[in-house]
Structure 1
Amino acid sequence: MFSTTRRTVSLWAPTMQHGAPPSALLVRALERVAPREDVRVSRVVVELLGPVPISDIEVRSWVDRPGANIELVVAELWARSPDRVDQNGVVREGVERAVARGTAWRMTTVDTSSESHQADASLKPLSEGTSHNWGEMWKSGYLDNIEIFALTELGGNGPGQVWARPTPALVLGEEMTPLERLFSIADIANGIGAKLDLNQWTFLNTDLTVHVFRVPEGEWVGISAETSTGPDGFAMSAGVLHDERGPIGRIAQTVLVRPRP
């Protein structure tokens, strides 16, 4: 059981977590379940099944599809829903439910260093970024606890590009693994690539899919992301993830777009 702090709070509501901390907690479980020295995670899908509350969180994980070379592992976050008052004024207690689910392919590793290749260009170095202030509209517990250096004007033409790193640990007293650190940041790609006016629109992502072709190194995560918005309330955020050596994978997110009341 894990206790949630206010450092996880989303900008969309003070009662829910930003998508990044739950994603990282799922990855922690996906890496640890039935651990093996000869495999690593190659792809993670996180489904946000509803608002992840600022409350105690239970983690459940299992091997869904075992295999000698390829295995599918699953993790879920469970939390108690808030009590509610029904139409007759009776208080109904909340129930335990899954609030987020992660699945990952773990595959055996072999040496392919002689054939290493990257399809995407590297980001400009961290030294060329400028410290980014999200502004009052973007203030939240989570965003106040990450460092961001912008390489482009966010919300302008072309992809948004940043370097970012979390300041607190994911779990108190633990050093984050490279993938935990990556997922502590990756979910902000939706905001980095957004073109919508936050005063007029909300744009919550309901999932994220991340493919990692190289294990990230170092503290900083680079993101180059852009969002395409359709005509009927949906958008897609897509981006490239980096460490300071270069690209390490790609991310895609489904985005629910709604006008503010």
Structure 2
Amino acid sequence: MSDLAYYVPLGSAQDDVERFAPTPLTASTWADTMQHGAPPSALLVRALERCNARADARLTRIVIEILGPIPISDIEVRSWVERPGKRIELVVAELWAAGPDGATRAVARGTGWRMETVDTTAVVHTADAPLRPVSDGYEIEMSGPFWGSGFVPSLDWRWLAHIGGEGPGQVWARPNCVLVEGETLSPIQRLFTVVDISNGVGSKIHPQDWTFLNTDLTVHLFRVPEGEWTGLSSETSYGPDGVGMCAGVIYDETGAVGRINQTVQVRPR
């Protein structure tokens, strides 16, 4: 298996189904038997982008639903156009894997609205102020039982604010590997290898005492990101009954490109 990719392709696509082997770099913070949410999210985005791809349209809103633990075992990717259209269409992709009983089932689903693009440079406007630059960021030791192996060390991190401090957590991050062995990351695939960390970046509680797994993520992109770094400014709110919500702004080095929301299941250790 590759040390520089999250997934290794298993032959060519057959019957409109692609097959991949995940590498150890996909391993979750919560258990080394399941994948972190970021690599599968990016793999779903890859499928959404490639499904009946159009040069005159792009993804604008992507929703990723985690349907259960995604095992570190061979997975299948299936995609289709759910609602075709010239100006707007809905694309769907699913990841399938074998469960503990050996039966194959969907473990994650991605849906994306794809819109026809036109020239609107005359009215460009960004509501959110820019994030402080990558050069202002600092590194911290990402080691120990929660950060020392699997997906977390596969990113290059530059922190702008401490996790759990006042206000939103803020960070710049970029992947140190590609999504699929032998391929180059598209701008939106690169963004999705990072944005699932929003829940952790915005956390106000410690994983030593609590688990806080997100069951989904919704990303709205008003601009295609540029460059290698993805910035996040996010903060999680917690309700009284075990449910939280992480909300954040997504950046490239030019400025904001969109926003993210995640539903969080909160449980004491």
TM over 0.5: yes
Q: How many Å separate the matches in 1 of 2:50 and 2:141?
A: 35
1:97 corresponds to: 105
1:123 corresponds to 2:141:
no
In the TM superposition, what is the alpha-carbon distance from 1:138 to its structure 2 partner? Answer: 2.1
Alignment of 1:178-197 (within 5 A): 178-197=187-206
In the TM superposition, what is the alpha-carbon distance from 1:114 to its structure 2 partner? Answer: 1.2
In the TM superposition, what is the alpha-carbon distance from 1:135 to its structure 2 partner? Answer: 3.6
Q: How many Å separate the matches in 2 of 1:209 and 1:175?
A: 24
Q: How many Å separate the matches in 2 of 1:2 and 1:235?
A: 32
1:143 corresponds to: 152
Q: How many Å separate the matches in 1 of 2:163 and 2:64?
A: 25
SS of residue in 2 equivalent to 1:182: helix
One of 25, 31, 35 as aligned partner of 1:7:
25
Consecutive unaligned residues in structure 2, runs of 5 or more: 1-18
One of 104, 108, 113 as aligned partner of 2:121:
113
2:242 corresponds to: 233
1:158 corresponds to: 167
1:47 corresponds to 2:73:
no
Q: RMSD over aligned Cα, in angstroms?
A: 0.8
1:58 corresponds to: 76
Q: How many Å separate the matches in 1 of 2:74 and 2:178?
A: 17
1:76 corresponds to: 94
SS of residue in 2 equivalent to 1:138: coil
2:15 corresponds to: none
One of 32, 48, 52 as aligned partner of 1:30:
48
Letter in 1 for 2:126: Q
Q: Cα deviation per residue 1:145-180 (whole Å; 9 max; x = unaligned)? A: 111100011111100000000111100010000000
2:186 corresponds to: 177
SS of residue in 1 equivalent to 2:188: helix
Q: How many Å separate the matches in 2 of 1:203 and 1:58?
A: 27
SS of residue in 1 equivalent to 2:196: helix
Q: How many Å separate the matches in 2 of 1:137 and 1:149?
A: 20
One of 223, 231, 234 as aligned partner of 2:232:
223
In the TM superposition, what is the alpha-carbon distance from 1:82 to its structure 2 partner? Answer: 2.3
TM-score relative to the length of structure 2: 0.92
2:8 corresponds to: none
SS of residue in 1 equivalent to 2:44: helix
SS of residue in 1 equivalent to 2:36: coil
TM-score relative to the length of structure 1: 0.94
Q: How many residues align?
A: 250
- Is the 8 Å Cα contact of residues 163 and 221 (structure 1) preserved in structure 2? yes
Stretches of 4+ moved more than 6 A in 1?
none
- Is the 8 Å Cα contact of residues 160 and 224 (structure 1) preserved in structure 2? yes
Q: How many Å separate the matches in 2 of 1:134 and 1:155?
A: 15
- Is the 8 Å Cα contact of residues 233 and 258 (structure 1) preserved in structure 2? yes
Q: How many Å separate the matches in 2 of 1:179 and 1:134?
A: 25
Q: Cα deviation per residue 1:179-238 (whole Å; 9 max; x = unaligned)? A: 000000000000000001211100000000000000000000000000000000000000
SS of residue in 2 equivalent to 1:37: coil
SS of residue in 2 equivalent to 1:114: helix
- Is the 8 Å Cα contact of residues 137 and 198 (structure 1) preserved in structure 2? no
Q: How many Å separate the matches in 2 of 1:197 and 1:142?
A: 18
Consecutive unaligned residues in structure 1, runs of 5 or more: 84-93
Letter in 1 for 2:267: R
